[in-house]
Structure 1
Amino acid sequence: MKNSVFLASAFLMLTLSACSQNEDDQTAKETDQLLTSDWQTIADSATEQQVNMYMWGGSDNINRYIDEWVAPRLKKDHDVELNRVPMNDSQDIINQLVDEKFAGKLNGSMDIIWINGENFKTAKDNDLLWGSFSGQLPNFNDFIDKDAPEIANDFGEPVEGLEAPWGKAQFVFVHDESKSPNPPKSTDELAEWVQENPGQFTYPALPDFTGSAFVRHVLYETTGGYEQYQQPAASITDLETRLEPMWDYLNSIEPYLWRGGETYPESLAKQDQLYASGEIGITMSYDPALAASEVLKGRFPESTRTFVLDGGTLSNTHFLSIPFNSSAKAGAMVAINEMLSPEAQTAKLSPENWGDLSALDLNLLSLEQQDAMNAVDLGVATLSLAELEEHRLPELSSDYIEIIEKGWLQHVAKE
């Protein structure tokens, strides 16, 4: 009798498992069809879906833009509920997806993720992303220059439709023009400024994203430009030798840095606090409108301005993607498409909302849409879009960034 009960239970478990597997396979098949469906079918499928958007949550402005501008419009216009899920770091998002992939979790909690650079490459290499969806989005097709290098590639990695561009960023330096009316316009001039103003400059300790970006500018300017690095790091046999001028420069200015270079701010937020309190005279940002936003909040002095190097500054594109196990892929597509609309991108450009540069190609917008975007008041602390565009430099691929960040710990932090 006990054996009969055991066999019956085992048979029931196998049957339920098979049914569950069949349901998962059917769901996967139906969602994959979205990659070839017409847009109306996708929009209809998205109705009443809840879309969980996992993203770095460290900016009040960005959070408010999502919660108060994007989410209400999605609900009103598409009956899609957008739920922002804040994360401390984008790497945490990737780590969670890796765990879910390993565990075979097919119905995940993430529907949209905000990533770029190393995190995108990791997600792509580990099959953590759903599929080539961006070509299905009307706003992507209508307003994005899909062949532009900064759109087709993410830190040197081909995008292949796995993510859609959300915005662009460009590195700027931030200073108080009442204290330094003629800021340095090259790393050589910066070294002179640092020596003439001891204790007034520093940069976040690597691997902080902004601190790492500052060091990459030093690489470009001390080793002959970016062009030589537009190939895989492994193909440069003398790379270690080529990096030496960068380490020499960083070590040469270290004694004149804040606290004599004995320590570095642990994050950009800490560095910005030093600038806001007047302890240092220059800070930096990979967000060209952040300074204007900080002035509006009263955190930075009104005499704050931004500048770029004459040789240019790094720029990149940040993207939105859909994980392999999203439970609301149609809703995610509709939400991303909405965030690529000219209206959403124009609102995002305003420092009062975010101040993030648009991912759209202005030449593809109507005259009315162009006028609306050009009418956005970026604030006196923000450089014009034309000046930023004229000074854009391409980013390094992630293999270089890993080498530089490890090298900084060895050649600068430990010396």
Structure 2
Amino acid sequence: MWKGRFLLIGLTVLFLLSACSNTKETTEISAEKVMQKNWETIEKEAEETTVTLYMWGGDEGINQYIDDWVTPQLRERHEITLRRVPMESPEVLRKLLNEKKAKQMKETTDVIWLNGENFENAKKNELLFGPFSNQLPNVKNYVNTKALDVLYDFGTKVDGMEAPWGKVQFVFHYDQNKLADPPKTFEELKEWVKKNPGKFTYPDPSDFTGNAFLRHLFYESVGDVQTILDNGFDSTFAKENSQEMWDFLNEVKPYLWQEGKTYPNDLTQLDRLFSQGEVAITMGYNEARAEKLVEKGIFPDSTRSFILNSGSIGNTHFLAIPFNSPNKEGALTVTNFLLSPDAQLKKLDSSYWGDNTSLDIRKLSKEEQSQFEAIDRGKTVIPIEILEEFAQPEIDANYVPWLKENWINEVVR
């Protein structure tokens, strides 16, 4: 039985590799041919066409942003009909992979929303059109294309195969009635924890937020995130460069909530401890997350946010174009529009999405900068320019299980 399964897996892999090699040349020629056109021609050829956008559809505010604002704007400005199709990224990739196996070079998907492991898989299997992103006018004019969180998507080089649509960043939330001057470094955090026993903890690293907290310490331990990116995932490298992180965690352990004998299972439990006043600091991978919790009365009105001088890990999400998009000119025009200052400003509005911009605010006109600054994201949200200054990229996703497993051996036991 197992032998038959292994044979089937082997044949499947062989078939996928064969399919990729058969379509590679056609895809590359198509990308080169399209991107040789000037931008005015691309926009002109996109007029009176339909562009299909496949994206996660589980958030009402995001859907309203696309349906109630983006779609009418594209119709008015570019005579494009946008069709939003709710679908999880892995499903879209399975669809594209099946189409590639069948050599279907023109199908129904024009733009997809993805990042992280999904992008890595799409790039590896040559399911994407490009490179294209650095030739988009709004990327050229408004995006910091040298930023690490634009160059890398969870440790995978972007190489122009997707365009940055938005981002979130990791921040600490604190009660300013209990912590008047939040720490600026891990050393200051360690000293505060020791002076205020029981008032700090972090989630178990099997939780996404707890693991992100450890990744910040790992960056600090290595000393340079670029070094981690250059090495990719390397367990030997990680072991040799993580001692400072384990020393920090073990030194503060006796002063944590419950004396470090137990840890919150997840962020929800840590938030509960914060809302009940048992701890003075919580954390999260979304700089705007505390605002609604304050509005609902879950977090105290005295809640504020801080990041450390060593940086704040950011998660950038992207837009990509499938290799077999039937309307690449339309897909390019829509993607470029979604990265325009107007579209990014409206996306930042919490009445729709509230998602942070992927643009470099310093590249905008004075008037546009004023418009972004005028949006009140709330008293718990750190200003965009500060977040941008201290932003750090994600590293290879394989470090997530490595940190979780080694934390048990180095800290728990």
Identify the TM-score tier after normalising by the shorter chain.
0.7 to 0.9
The answer (yes or no) to whether the contact 1:199–1:280 under 8 Å persists in 2 is yes
Deviation (angstroms), 1:170:
2.7
Instruction: Tell me, yes or no, if the aligned pair for 2:28 and 2:130 is still in contact at 8 Å.
Output: no
The one-letter code of the counterpart of 2:342 is E
Structure 2 match to 1:402: 398
Tell me the equivalent position of 2:3. Answer: none
Q: How do 1:13-412 and structure 2 match up within 5 A?
A: 33-43=33-43, 44-45=45-46, 47-55=48-56, 57=57, 59-77=59-77, 78-87=79-88, 90=89, 93-94=92-93, 97-98=96-97, 100-102=99-101, 104=103, 106-108=105-107, 110-191=109-190, 193-194=192-193, 196-198=196-198, 201-203=201-203, 205-206=205-206, 208=208, 210-226=209-225, 228-233=227-232, 238-250=237-249, 256-257=256-257, 262=262, 264-266=264-266, 268=267, 271-272=270-271, 275-276=274-275, 280-296=279-295, 299-392=298-391, 394-398=392-396, 401-412=397-408
Q: For the residues of structure 1 that align with 2:259 and 2:109, how far apart are their CA atoms?
A: 43
Which residue identity lines up with residue 74 of structure 2 in the other structure?
L
Q: Please say if residues 129 and 324 of structure 1, whose CA atoms lie closer than 8 Å, have aligned partners that are also in contact.
A: yes
Residue 20 of structure 2 is matched in structure 1 by none
Over 3 Å counting, the alpha-carbon distance change for 1:338 and 1:265 in structure 2 is farther
Residue type of the partner of 1:397?
Answer: I
Relative to the length of structure 2, the TM-score reads 0.76
CA distance in structure 2 between the partners assigned to 1:245 and 1:378 by the alignment: 36
Code of the residue aligned with 2:393 in structure 1: it is E
Q: Are the structure 2 counterparts of residues 270 and 28 from structure 1 closer, same or farther at C-alpha, using a change threshold of 3 Å?
A: farther
Partner SS state of residue 318, structure 2: strand
Contact 2:314 2:394 in 1 (8 A): no
Greater CA radius of gyration, 1 or 2? 1
Match in the other structure for 1:11: none
Distance 1:91 1:243, change over 3 A: farther
Rounded to whole Å, the distance in 2 between the matches of 1:278 and 1:104 is 59
SS at match of 2:75: helix
C-alpha distance 129-273 of structure 1, shift in aligned 2 (>3 A)? farther
Please provide the CA RMSD for this pair.
3.7
SS at match of 2:241: helix
SS for the counterpart of 1:231 is helix
Counterparts of 2:129 and 2:185, CA distance in 1: 43
Deviations 1:142-179 (A, max 9, x none): 32343444434434543222111212433211122234
Secondary structure in 1 matching 2:230: coil
> Unpaired segments of 5 or more residues in structure 2?
1-24
**TM-superposed deviation, 1:31:** 8.0
1:212–1:111: structure 2 CA closer, same or farther, 3 Å change rule? Answer: farther
Tell me, in whole angstroms, the C-alpha distance in 1 between the residues paired with 2:318 and 2:105.
23
- The offset of 1:95, in angstroms, is 5.2
Distance (whole Å) between structure 2 residues aligned to residue 86 and residue 269 of structure 1: 27
Q: Quick check: 2:61–2:351 contact (8 Å CA) kept in 1?
A: yes
Unpaired runs of at least 5, structure 1: 1-24
Q: What amino acid sits opposite 1:67 in the alignment?
A: D
Deviation of 1:246 (Å): 2.5
Whether the 8 Å contact between 2:106 and 2:324 is mirrored in structure 1 is: yes
- The answer to whether the 8 A contact 1:186-1:311 is kept is yes
